[in-house]
Amino acid sequence: MVEGFISRGFRGRRRQPNNAQLPPGQYETKGFPVLSAGPTPHVPLSEWDFTLVGEIDEAKRWSWEEFQALPSEEITKDIHCVTKWSKFGTRWGGVSVDTLLGNVETSAAYVTAFCDGGYTTNLPLEDVTGGKAWVAYAYDGEPLEPAHGGPARLLVPHLYFWKSAKWVRGLSLLSHDEPGFWESLGYHNYGDPWREQRYQGD
Ligand SMILES: Nc1nc2c(c(=O)[nH]1)N[C@H]1C(S)=C(S)[C@@H](COP(=O)(O)O)O[C@H]1N2
Ligand SMILES: [Mo]
């Protein structure tokens, strides 16, 4: 059929497909680039913990073993890096931030994720609740590799991937917003890939 032939040929010539999965300015990669602002920290699991601190009645702490015992979820999501690569259908395992915040009473409106190595990133509390964010410790059915944030990283796939803090150790619940590492170096404070919020002023 002529119509089918034409549309196949048309698709074949496009370098950037008009893919509804691809935010503006992004391209798809099949690889999984590593982007780290510093060296990969290596903390023994016996010393690892995850804590909730800040605007919270009582700080919360889970050891690695306690964290593994929390209800976990399998998550399949597209991810989008501000350096313009997107990767479709990445498969993760981990704990929903909703689970971590389950019994917590807080007046906080923001969180800052903090990490081994000193990296931080800030998010509205709204963006890490309601099934939008996880602390992931598995990738593709295997323990998360150190280069990609193992033993555990934040996963916030609806925002640019710099918000998905690697080697995350906790969340600080805050009543005010505090720019994190890249946010204080000129990256957009919120970072919605669909609105192409790469840098301050976008
Ligand atoms: N702790 C920490 N987390 C981080 C970073 C970092 O440098 N340190 N880089 C961020 C950026 S800019 C991106 S794009 C992703 C990259 O994750 P990947 O190396 O698994 O692809 O991690 C984010 N999380
Ligand atoms: Mo990035």
Indicate which CATH number applies to the domain containing 121: 3.90.420.10
* Ion ligand 2 neighbours, Cβ < 5 Å: 35, 81-82, 162
- Whether 200 is covered by a domain: the verdict is no
- Coil/strand/helix, residue 53: strand
- Coil/strand/helix, residue 185: helix
Local confidence band at 7 (pLDDT 50, 70, 90 cut-offs): very low
pLDDT at 2 over 70: no
The ligand that comes nearest to the alpha carbon of residue 182 is: 1
Nearest CA to ligand 1 atom 23: 162
Greater confidence (131 vs 15) lies with 131
For residue 16, what pLDDT is reported? Answer: 53
- Whether 95 is covered by a domain: the verdict is yes
| Ligand 2 geometric centre to CA of 4 (Å) | 39
- Whether 165 is covered by a domain: the verdict is yes
Nearest CA to ligand 1 atom 24: 165
- Whether 29 is covered by a domain: the verdict is no
The pTM is what? 0.92
- Classify strands 49-54 and 168-174 as parallel, antiparallel or unpaired: parallel
| Torsion angle (degrees, nearest 10) of CA 154, 141, 21, 33 | 70
CB neighbour class for 52 (10 Å; exposed up to 12, middle 13-18, buried from 19): buried
Nearest CA to ligand 1 atom 16: 35
User: Could you give the number of structural domains in the chain?
Assistant: 1
Residue from 20, 127, 29, 157 nearest 83 by CA: 29
List helix spans (H) across the chain: 2-13, 64-68, 97-100
| Ligand 2 geometric centre to CA of 62 (Å) | 28
Q: Residue 129 sits in which domain range?
A: 47-195
CA distance 130 to 51: 20
How far is residue 84 from each of residues 21, 28, 100, 193, 196, measured CA to CA in Å? Answer: 14, 8, 31, 10, 10
- Whether 186 is covered by a domain: the verdict is yes
For residue 166, what pLDDT is reported? Answer: 98
Which tens digits make up the pLDDT trace of 115-171? 999 999 999 999 999 999 999 999 999 999 999 999 999 999 999 999 999 999 999
For residue 103, what pLDDT is reported? Answer: 84
Task: Judge whether 128 and 111 are in contact, CB under 8 Å.
Answer: yes
- Whether 1 is covered by a domain: the verdict is no
Local confidence band at 17 (pLDDT 50, 70, 90 cut-offs): low
Which tens digits make up the pLDDT trace of 55-106? 999 999 999 999 999 999 999 999 999 999 999 999 999 999 999 999 898 9
The binding-site residues of ligand 1, defined as CB within 6 angstroms of any ligand atom, are: 33-37, 81, 115, 117, 119, 148-149, 161-162, 164-167
CA distance 86 to 189: 20
CB atoms within 10 A of CB 106: 16
- Whether 150 is covered by a domain: the verdict is yes
Task: Judge whether 108 and 173 are in contact, CB under 8 Å.
Answer: yes
- Whether 168 is covered by a domain: the verdict is yes
| Ligand 2 geometric centre to CA of 172 (Å) | 22
Q: E strands, the chain, where?
A: 27-28, 49-54, 60-63, 73-80, 85-96, 110-115, 120-124, 134-139, 142-143, 153-155, 168-174
